[in-house]
C-alpha cells in the first residue's frame, strides 16, 4: 500500500453570496483552484460544506453542481445519510448518488445513538445495505451530530460486508489509524480507500498505508497537502517531509479557530472570490484571529518557497 499513489481529497467549503445563498460561480472558481493545486478527488456535502445548515434541496443542488462542473476529471463522494429513519437515509442516499457521485458516505453517528452499543450500529448498517442496492458506500466519523469513532473490530465487520469502499477517519489517535490500516492489509483489500482527516497525522498515516488525506487544511493550502501526499514515502525527501509535517502540526490548532470562516478569510486573502459569510459560524473574525491567519499565510508562502511548490493562485 505504501507504494500506491496517494491522494489529497479536500472537504469542500460552500461559498455564499451576500444573501447567504449558495454562490455557484464562486464554487466553480473554487473547484478550479482545488484542481490546479493537484487534488485527486472531492468530498462534497460534508461538515466543512455546512451541510447541517443548508436544506436538503441545497445539498443536492450543490453536489449536482460540483459533479457537473468537475465533469469526470476526478472522483467525487458526498455525505448521504440524512433522514430520521434508516428508510429516509436510504432514500436520500439514492437521490444524491444519482446526482452523479462515485460513492455515498454514511456518517457513523447517524446509525446509533450516543449511548447505543456497536451491535445497534452494525444492525442499522446492515439494514442500510439492504435498502441501497449496489450503491458504493463509505464511512465518515463526522464530529456531528456526535463523533462515533469505530474500533478496529467494528471497522473490520463493516468493511468485510463488501459494501464499503471509502473511509474518512477522525479518530486522531495514530494507534487507531494503524489498527484500521492493519485490518485492510489483513483483508487484502486494496480497493478500499482510507483517508485521515487529521493533518498532524499526515506523514505518519501516509507512511502506514493510508490512501490519502482529507483534512480541513486543504481549504487553506491544498498544495501543501498534495505535496505531502506525493512525497511522504519518497526516500530522498524524508528531511523535507519531517520538517513540513512539523510546520503543518504547529499551525493546525490556529486554522481550526472560527472554522469555516477562517478558511473563507484565508482563501479570500489568496485571491479567491469567497466571502466570509457562513451559516454555521455567525460571528465575524476578531482582529486577533485575522492577525493569526495573516501570519499562517506568510508561513505558507515560506513553505512553498523552501520546497519549490507552485501555488495554485
Q: How confident is the model at residue 2 (pLDDT cuts 50, 70, 90)?
A: very low
State residue 22's pLDDT score: 97
Q: Does residue 281 form part of some domain?
A: yes
Q: Does residue 312 form part of some domain?
A: no
Q: Does residue 2 form part of some domain?
A: no
pLDDT: which is higher, 163 or 3 = 163
- Out of 75-79, 187-191, 238-242, which region has the weakest mean confidence (pLDDT)? 187-191
Largest separation between any pair of C-alpha atoms in the chain: 52
Average pLDDT over residues 21-26: 98
Closest CA to 83 of 58, 45, 62, 111: 111
The C-alpha cell at 189 is 483489500
State residue 237's pLDDT score: 97
Closest CA to 86 of 129, 143, 117, 115: 129
Tell me what percent of the residues of the chain surpass a pLDDT of 90: 97
State residue 1's pLDDT score: 35
Alpha helix locations (H) across 71-160? 86-97, 118-131, 152-159
Residue 41 has pLDDT above 70, yes or no: yes
Q: Does residue 1 form part of some domain?
A: no
Cα-flanking dihedrals φ and ψ of residue 101, to 5°? -75, 165
Cβ proximity of 228 and 244 under 8 Å? yes
Looking at the whole model, is its pTM more than 0.85?
yes
State residue 270's pLDDT score: 97
- Segments forming the whole domain that contains residue 290: 7-307
Residue 3 has pLDDT above 60, yes or no: no
Average pLDDT over residues 202-217: 98
| Mean model confidence pLDDT for the chain | 96
**Per-residue pLDDT reduced to its tens digit, 240-270:** 999 999 999 999 999 999 999 999 999 999 9
Q: How confident is the model at residue 189 (pLDDT cuts 50, 70, 90)?
A: confident
Q: Does residue 302 form part of some domain?
A: yes
The C-alpha cell at 281 is 459560524
State how many domains the chain has. 1
CATH number of 115's domain: 3.20.20.70
Q: What letter does residue 301 receive in the DSSP assignment?
A: H
Amino acid at each position: 500500500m505504501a507504494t500506491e499513489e496517494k491522494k489529497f481529497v479536500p472537504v469542500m467549503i460552500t461559498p455564499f453570496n451576500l444573501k447567504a445563498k449558495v454562490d455557484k460561480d464562486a464554487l466553480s472558481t473554487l473547484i478550479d483552484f482545488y484542481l490546479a493545486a493537484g487534488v485527486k478527488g472531492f468530498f462534497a456535502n460534508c461538515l466543512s460544506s455546512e451541510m447541517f445548515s443548508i436544506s436538503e434541496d441545497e445539498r443536492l443542488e450543490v453536489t449536482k453542481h460540483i459533479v457537473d462542473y468537475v465533469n469526470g476529471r476526478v472522483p467525487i463522494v458526498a455525505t448521504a445519510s440524512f433522514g430520521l429513519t434508516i428508510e429516509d437515509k436510504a432514500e436520500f442516499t439514492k437521490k444524491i448518488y444519482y446526482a452523479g457521485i462515485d460513492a455515498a458516505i454514511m456518517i457513523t453517528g447517524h446509525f446509533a445513538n450516543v449511548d447505543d452499543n456497536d451491535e445497534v450500529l452494525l444492525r442499522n448498517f446492515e439494514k442500510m445495505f439492504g435498502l441501497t442496492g449496489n450503491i458504493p458506500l463509505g464511512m465518515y466519523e463526522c464530529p456531528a451530530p456526535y463523533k462515533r469513532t469505530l474500533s478496529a473490530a467494528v471497522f473490520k465487520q463493516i468493511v468485510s460486508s463488501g459494501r464499503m469502499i471509502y473511509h474518512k477517519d477522525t479518530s486522531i489517535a495514530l494507534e487507531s489509524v494503524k489498527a484500521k490500516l492493519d485490518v485492510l492489509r489483513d483483508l487484502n483489500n486494496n480497493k478500499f480507500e482510507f483517508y485521515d482527516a487529521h493533518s498532524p497525522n499526515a506523514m505518519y498515516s501516509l507512511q502506514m498505508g493510508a490512501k490519502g488525506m482529507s483534512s480541513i487544511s486543504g481549504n487553506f493550502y491544498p498544495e501543501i497537502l498534495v505535496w505531502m501526499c506525493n512525497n511522504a514515502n519518497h526516500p530522498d525527501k524524508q528531511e523535507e517531509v519531517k520538517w513540513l509535517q512539523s510546520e503543518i502540526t504547529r499551525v493546525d490548532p490556529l486554522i481550526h479557530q472560527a472554522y469555516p470562516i477562517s478558511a473563507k478569510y484565508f482563501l479570500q486573502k489568496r485571491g479567491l472570490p469567497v466571502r466570509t459569510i457562513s451559516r454555521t459560524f455567525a460571528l465575524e473574525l476578531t482582529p486577533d484571529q485575522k492577525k493569526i491567519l495573516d501570519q499562517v499565510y506568510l508561513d505558507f508562502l515560506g513553505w512553498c518557497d523552501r520546497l519549490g511548490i507552485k501555488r495554485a493562485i
